[in-house]
């Protein structure tokens, strides 16, 4: 990904888009700007955000040298509220209105099927983009992002689950378990929007090299089996109302096992956002495109397997189609 690094330049950022069930414009803007209006936050319609932001010492908020200066939301009446909560100076009428006024943009929505068109104006303008998970959920859209990356367009996308402090000790380090035989993750909501959370939680543990994906179940109850070149079986359970199992991971091997629960939203989000700011400053991508690409193939293969009655989809099928 080609990017002319900004170095120590103060960064002006735009937070763009807000869809039902996803309040990232509130929390991400607060985390970056390092401030919030307590009264306005008390009226934020996302209780989880009110809870985890309210628990943080004010001294932990903020990313030095970066500020969200512009905001746009899909429903125009919501943008002024986000701006008030996080102290954002400018509310714009159209996303494209930020071009020429900011250094980078956040596409802060989790509808992967919309991301190509939401990104297009900024890709064409050469503005760096952070795209909320998942980057995409279809082969054609992945091919478009593939082309843009090949052209050197600066696009970053990740799940905050990659940055969980609870899972980080096991990234590429599972020797204590002997031969790792089984890795499971449970997650709430839909495979289309939240399957990437389950996938990216476990991906840094095993690394690249997935062979196949098979989905059993229905859109609201996805049980997904993945084969990895290491021989590890991965089972991801993404069930619409499984909030009690959000981010629960099991690692089991020939010698030992462990069960780990994700719980610190704030740490994961801040670390994720800091990784994008570091990318803007240094030009070093926090996640190689090859990994993001394979993760999107896994998302897409899971959808295709379910639609085809649980057929095992080989990753080579997506490569040959591309």
Q: Is residue 91 part of a domain?
A: yes
Are 132 and 212 in the same domain?
A: no
Last residue of some domain: 157, 176, 211? 157
Last residue of some domain: 125, 157, 189? 157
DSSP-derived pairing of the beta strands 221-228 and 210-218: antiparallel
Q: Is residue 63 part of a domain?
A: yes
Task: Quote the strand ranges of 162-280, DSSP E.
Answer: 180-188, 210-218, 221-228, 233-239, 248-253, 257-261
- Tokens representing 4 are 């002319």
Are 178 and 120 in the same domain?
A: no
List pLDDT tens digits, range 196-239: 999 999 999 999 999 999 999 888 999 999 999 999 999 999 99
Are 307 and 247 in the same domain?
A: yes
Are 173 and 317 in the same domain?
A: yes
Q: What domain count does the chain have?
A: 2
Give the pLDDT confidence score for residue 319 in this predicted structure: 87
As a whole number, mean pLDDT of residues 270-295 equals 97
CA-to-CA separations, 50 to 24, 178, 272, in angstroms, rounded: 12, 42, 19
Going by pLDDT thresholds of 50, 70 and 90, the confidence category of residue 245 is very high
Give the pLDDT confidence score for residue 232 in this predicted structure: 98
Q: Is residue 225 part of a domain?
A: yes
Q: Is residue 111 part of a domain?
A: yes
Are 173 and 152 in the same domain?
A: no
Q: Which helix (H) or strand (E) holds 106?
A: strand 104-107
Are 44 and 128 in the same domain?
A: yes
Q: Is residue 24 part of a domain?
A: yes
Q: Is the pLDDT of residue 241 over 90?
A: yes
Are 77 and 208 in the same domain?
A: no
Are 304 and 235 in the same domain?
A: yes
Q: Is residue 286 part of a domain?
A: no
Last residue of some domain: 101, 134, 157? 157
Residue among 286, 285, 299, 305 nearest 136 (CA) = 299
1: Cβ contacts below 8 Å, ≥ 6 apart: 149, 152, 153, 154, 155, 156, 285, 289
List the CATH number of the domain containing 107. 3.40.50.720
Going by pLDDT thresholds of 50, 70 and 90, the confidence category of residue 93 is very high
Going by pLDDT thresholds of 50, 70 and 90, the confidence category of residue 140 is very high
Q: Is residue 152 part of a domain?
A: yes
Are 173 and 313 in the same domain?
A: yes
Structural domain harbouring 72: 11-157
Are 101 and 187 in the same domain?
A: no
As a whole number, mean pLDDT of residues 28-36 equals 97
User: Are 312 and 214 contacting, i.e. CB atoms less than 8 angstroms apart?
Assistant: yes
Answering whether pTM is above 0.85, one says yes
Q: Is residue 2 part of a domain?
A: no
Exposure letters 163-195 (e unless 16+ CB within 10 A, then b): bbebbeebeeebeebeebeebbbbbbbbbbbbb
CA-to-CA separations, 165 to 74, 158, 168, 243, 267, in angstroms, rounded: 32, 15, 5, 20, 7
Average pLDDT, the chain: 96
User: Are 214 and 311 contacting, i.e. CB atoms less than 8 angstroms apart?
Assistant: yes
List the CATH number of the domain containing 259. 3.30.360.10
Q: Is the pLDDT of residue 1 over 90?
A: no
Are 313 and 171 in the same domain?
A: yes
| β-pair partners for 182 | 233, 252
């Amino acid at each position: 990904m080609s990017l002319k690094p900004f170095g120590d330049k103060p960064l002006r950022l735009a937070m763009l888009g807000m869809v039902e069930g996803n309040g990232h414009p509130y929390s991400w803007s607060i985390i970056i700007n390092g401030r919030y209006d307590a009264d306005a936050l008390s009226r934020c319609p996302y209780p989880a955000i009110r809870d985890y932001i309210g628990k943080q010492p004010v001294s932990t908020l903020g990313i030095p040298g970066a500020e969200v200066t512009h905001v746009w939301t899909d429903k125009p009446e919501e943008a002024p509220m986000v701006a008030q909560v996080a102290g954002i100076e400018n509310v714009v009428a159209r996303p494209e209105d930020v071009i020429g006024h900011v250094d980078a943009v956040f596409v802060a929505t989790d509808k992967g099927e919309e991301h190509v068109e939401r990104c297009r104006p900024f890709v064409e303008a050469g503005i760096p983009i952070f795209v909320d998970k998942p980057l995409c959920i279809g082969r054609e859209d992945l091919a478009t992002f593939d082309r843009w990356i090949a052209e050197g367009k600066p696009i970053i996308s990740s799940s905050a689950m990659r940055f969980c402090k609870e899972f980080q000790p096991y990234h590429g380090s599972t020797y204590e378990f002997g031969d790792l035989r089984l890795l499971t993750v449970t997650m709430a909501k839909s495979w289309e929007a939240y399957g990437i959370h389950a996938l990216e939680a476990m991906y840094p543990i095993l690394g690249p090299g997935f062979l196949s994906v098979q989905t059993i179940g229905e859109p609201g109850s996805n049980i997904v089996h993945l084969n990895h070149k290491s021989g590890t079986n991965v089972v991801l359970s993404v069930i619409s109302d499984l909030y009690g199992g959000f981010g629960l991971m099991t690692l089991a091997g020939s010698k030992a096992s462990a069960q780990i629960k994700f719980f610190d939203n704030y740490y994961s989000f801040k670390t994720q956002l800091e990784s994008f700011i570091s990318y803007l400053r240094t030009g070093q991508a926090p996640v190689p495109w090859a990994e993001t690409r394979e993760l999107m193939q896994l998302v897409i293969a899971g959808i295709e397997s379910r639609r085809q009655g649980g057929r095992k989809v080989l990753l080579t099928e997506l490569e040959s189609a591309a």
